[in-house]
C-alpha cells in the first residue's frame, strides 16, 4: 500500500529523532519499501497504525530494535580506504608508544565487523604494540549486524580489498565462506550504541582514534554536527577522527583540525577539551 505524504513525514521525523537517519523527499519510496515488511510482521493495517505501534505499543522497543536493522546500510568490506588505516598504523601508533599508554580505538559504526577486525589485523601484523596493550571497541545501532560481527563469518564480497596473504593468515575456509581467527576476534569488543546518545558515546572514551566512515552521509547537517561533537567527548586531546572520503565536517564545527595529505583526509580534535 502506498504511503501518503503526511504518513511519510511523520514516520521520517520519528525515525530521524530516534536514530538520526534522515530520508529527504526523494527517498519516500525507499522508506516505504523498507517499512512495508514491518507492517506485515507487526500485523498492522496501514502506516498510521504502524506509527502508533512504534510510539505507544507495549512492544515498541522491540520493534525499534528490528527497525534499526531494517534501516541500516551494511555495505562494508575489509581494508576499505586503506590510506586512513595506514595513518592509524603510523601516526596514531607512534603517539601511543611515545606516551607509553594503551592504544584505544573505537569503530563507531562497525556494521558487520569488517572495519574493527581490519584494524586488529593491521595492528597485530605491525607488531609495534602488543595485543595486550590494544583496546578495540566496536559499536553499531543494528542488532543483526552486531550478531554477524560477533560470529565472524564472511563471504567473498567482504574480501574485495584483502591481500591474499592476509586471508591465508587470519581466516579459515568453511563451506561457502570464511571464519576469522579466534586471535583477531578476541581483540575486538562489540556493543550496541546509538550515536545520538551523548552519554553512551562519551563512555567509549578516552579513545586515541574514532572511525566513523560513510555514516554521516545518512544524517542531515544538524545531526552530523551533533554526532561529531559527541565524538569530541570520547576522544583524547588531539585525538583522531576518521570519516568517509565523501564526508566533510569543515563547515559544521571548529572542534577539529582537518589534515589533508595526498592519500588521506582525516581530523584531529583541537585543544584539550576531549575525553580524559
Say if residues 167 and 197 touch (Cβ distance below 8 Å).
Answer: no
Judge whether 236 and 272 are in contact, CB under 8 Å. Answer: no
Work out the average pLDDT over 9-29.
Answer: 96
For the chain, which residues make up each domain, given as ranges? 5-71, 82-269
Residue 276's pLDDT is 43
Q: Where are the alpha helices (DSSP H) in the chain?
A: 5-19, 28-42, 47-56, 60-71, 82-87, 93-99, 114-126, 143-151, 164-170, 182-185, 198-202, 221-232
- The pLDDT assigned to 271 comes to 75
Q: Are 233 and 204 in contact (CB under 8 A)?
A: no
Give the C-alpha separation, 177 to 154, whole Å.
5
For residue 149, the model assigns a pLDDT of 98
**Cβ contacts of 2 within 8 Å, gap of 6 or more:** 32
User: What values do phi and psi take at 269, rounded to 5?
Assistant: -65, 130
Residue 54: pLDDT band by 50, 70, 90 thresholds?
Answer: very high
Percent of the chain's residues with pLDDT above 90: 95
pLDDT (0 to 100) of residue 95: 95
Fold match flag (5-71 vs 82-269): no
Name the grid cell of 35.
517499512
Cα–Cα distance measured from residue 12 to residue 3, given in angstroms and rounded to the nearest whole number: 11
Q: How many CB atoms lie within 10 A of CB 166?
A: 17
pLDDT in tens, 209-222: 999 999 999 999 99
Q: Examine the pLDDT at 190 and tell me if it is beyond 80.
A: yes
Q: How long, in residues, is the chain?
A: 276
Residue 16 has pLDDT above 70, yes or no: yes
Q: Which residues contact 60 (CB under 8 A, 6 or more apart)?
A: 53, 54
Q: Which CATH number fits domain 82-269: 3.30.365.10, 3.40.50.300, 3.40.50.150, 3.40.640.10?
A: 3.40.50.150
Q: DSSP 3-state assignment of 214?
A: coil
Torsion of CA 122, 189, 229, 12, to 10 degrees: 110
| Cell numbers representing residue 36 in the block | 512495508
**Tell me: the pLDDT tens digits for 67-122?**
999 999 888 999 999 999 999 999 999 999 999 999 999 999 999 999 999 999 99
Q: Which helix (H) or strand (E) holds 154?
A: strand 153-154
Of the options 3.30.460, 2.60.40, 1.10.155, 1.10.3470, the CATH number for the domain spanning 5-71: 1.10.155
pLDDT of 275: 53
User: Helices (H) and strands (E) in the chain — how many of each?
Assistant: 12, 10
pLDDT tens digit string along 98-111? 999 999 999 999 99
**Predicted local confidence at residue 249, as pLDDT:** 95
- Give pLDDT tens digits for 224-274: 999 999 999 999 999 999 999 899 999 999 999 999 999 999 999 997 544
The total of other beta-carbon atoms located within 10 Å of residue 99's CB is 11
Using the predicted structure, report yes or no on whether residue 12 has a pLDDT greater than 80.
yes
Active site residues: 34, 140
Please, what sign has the CA dihedral across residues 184, 190, 195, 199?
A: negative
Amino acid at each position: 500500500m502506498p504511503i501518503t505524504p503526511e504518513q511519510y513525514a511523520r514516520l521520517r521525523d520519528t525515525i530521524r529523532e530516534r536514530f538520526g537517519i534522515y530520508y529527504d523527499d526523494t527517498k519516500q519510496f525507499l522508506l516505504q519499501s523498507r517499512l512495508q515488511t514491518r507492517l506485515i510482521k507487526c500485523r498492522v493495517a496501514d502506516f498510521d497504525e504502524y506509527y502508533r505501534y512504534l510510539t505507544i505499543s507495549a512492544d515498541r522497543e522491540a520493534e525499534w530494535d528490528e527497525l534499526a536493522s531494517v534501516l541500516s546500510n551494511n555495505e562494508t568490506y575489509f581494508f576499505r580506504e586503506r590510506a586512513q588505516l595506514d595513518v592509524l598504523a603510523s601516526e596514531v601508533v607512534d603517539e601511543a608508544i611515545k606516551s607509553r599508554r594503551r592504544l584505544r580505538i573505537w569503530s563507531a559504526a562497525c556494521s558487520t565487523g569488517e572495519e574493527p577486525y581490519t584494524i586488529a589485523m593491521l595492528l597485530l601484523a605491525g607488531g609495534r604494540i602488543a595485543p595486550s596493550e590494544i583496546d578495540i571497541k566496536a559499536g553499531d545501532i543494528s542488532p543483526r549486524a552486531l550478531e554477524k560481527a560477533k560470529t565472524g563469518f564472511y563471504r567473498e564480497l567482504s574480501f574485495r580489498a584483502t591481500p591474499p596473504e592476509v586471508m591465508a593468515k587470519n581466516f579459515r575456509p568453511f563451506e561457502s565462506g570464511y571464519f576469522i581467527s579466534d586471535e583477531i576476534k578476541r581483540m575486538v569488543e562489540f556493543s550496541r550504541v546509538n550515536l545520538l546518545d551523548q552519554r553512551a558515546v562519551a563512555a567509549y572514551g578516552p579513545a586515541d582514534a574514532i572511525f566513523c566512515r560513510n555514516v554521516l552521509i545518512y544524517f542531515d547537517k544538524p545531526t552530523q554536527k551533533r554526532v561529531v561533537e559527541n565524538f569530541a567527548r570520547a576522544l583524547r586531546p588531539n585525538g583522531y577522527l576518521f570519516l568517509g572520503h565523501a564526508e566533510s565536517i569543515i563547515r559544521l564545527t571548529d572542534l577539529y583540525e582537518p589534515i589533508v595529505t595526498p592519500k588521506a583526509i582525516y581530523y584531529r580534535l583541537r585543544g584539550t577539551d576531549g575525553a580524559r
